[in-house]
Structure 1
């Protein structure tokens, strides 16, 4: 798998990108929340300002999370392979304190082997966890037409990855939305503006818990750095005159 060849490079570049933030970070520096997904989180088909990212930003501000910078790196049509390719090409651009990984729907719609989907997602999450990024996985469910074996294998990969990497799992990104005409666009695949609001309402508490944990981690890092800066320097070695 070509993405596996870049795994160390991706993780290393993410770590380097995080270094300026991991030393003496002031509280004024916002936490960076990155959304890595497909059309479900890109704002596809809804009026500008009503997509997942702006709706989530509004919710976070209302809940008191005002020191958060959101970067929406979602691209309509992206498969897990496409997203991995983008990360390999620009790891610094996707560096984050918290990352929402919402991928796999397009793989499923094209009946991509679950093992391939799992391998790609594993590579993506591995890179983030090596950096210390907290990950929220937006899960997907397969359509019944793909058959029992595919359904079971595909649906199990998200809980498996969450357990493996200690990531938070929102089991189905379209939970409470899919199958409800009032919350879906006419294509029956993408949420409308009301559906986006429903998604945000469901997943926001999980995202906020991860932002809290990231903020606490930042304080611990800053405290350690301050302690190191205040520590007395070692006495110079005495020359043997």
Structure 2
């Protein structure tokens, strides 16, 4: 599995365009968040959960800090679970949504990487993500998908079935899309943990800088409804 992971990361690095240098994230004390600020629910796997990072260093808290520092008032709730497949996430979706104190204005959906690493059938990944987005549609909650890419060494058929999942589902459900969540860090060991899978704290900041504008656009569209 580790050998497969290393091949995966090398392959993704080879097929990725160089990431633009992110803007510096504000390090001063974060401004107070209004009690009525819209809630963004980050529903995903370890890439949201903050795997092996200190409190406050994961994607949801760093995204929240960056948005509010830019004048975009929002509260980001971390609903990431390390190791989650799309099937496991689908099983906990209703419970997670029902347990929120405030109905989310936007849900970030970041899943599928574990499906791919385990070689699960892409049609199952597609069906589970479709069901997650359908449930959000039923609840009238807009979504933003943060996508994954399959490594070429998974085989041409697997790549051809897996990679179109995210743009196709984003179009079907009228969801916003970040095509590849790890675009800003993949292939750069200085931005990754020693497992070569998860970003370190500096890598998280790079991802935040690369995705903040898309999240802002999606949140503004959601709150304008």
Partners of 2:44 and 2:96 lie apart in 1 by 15
2:36 to 29, 36, 42: 29
Unaligned runs of 5+ in 2: 1-33
Partners of 1:173 and 1:29 lie apart in 2 by 29
Match of 1:136, SS state, is strand
CA contact (8 A) 2:48 2:79 kept: no
Q: Does 1:39 align with 2:46?
A: yes
Match of 1:73, SS state, is strand
Q: Per the alignment, do residues 28 and 40 of structure 1 end up closer, same or farther by CA in structure 2, a change over 3 Å counting?
A: closer
Match of 2:80, SS state, is coil
* Farther off after superposition, 160-169 or 44-53: 44-53
TM superposition shift of 1:176: 1.9
TM superposition shift of 1:131: 2.0
1:111 to 109, 119, 123: 119
Partners of 1:49 and 1:89 lie apart in 2 by 24
Partners of 2:180 and 2:160 lie apart in 1 by 14
Q: Does 1:65 align with 2:61?
A: no
Q: Does 1:78 align with 2:84?
A: yes
**Corresponding residue for 1:212?**
220
Partners of 1:180 and 1:80 lie apart in 2 by 27
TM-score normalised to structure 1 length: 0.75
Q: Does 1:148 align with 2:156?
A: yes
Q: Does 1:136 align with 2:144?
A: yes
Structure with the larger helix share: 1
Q: Does 1:56 align with 2:63?
A: yes
TM superposition shift of 1:28: 5.9
> C-alpha offsets along residues 150-176 of structure 1, whole Å, 9 cap, x if unaligned?
011100111110110111110001012
Moved over 3 A (4+): 88-91
CA contact (8 A) 2:79 2:96 kept: no
Match of 1:123, SS state, is helix
Q: Does 1:175 align with 2:197?
A: no
Figure out how many residues of one structure are paired with residues of the other and give that number: 190
TM superposition shift of 1:47: 2.0
Partners of 1:79 and 1:59 lie apart in 2 by 28
Partners of 2:139 and 2:94 lie apart in 1 by 14
Partners of 2:54 and 2:98 lie apart in 1 by 29
TM-score normalised to structure 2 length: 0.81
Partners of 2:60 and 2:97 lie apart in 1 by 20
TM superposition shift of 1:127: 1.0
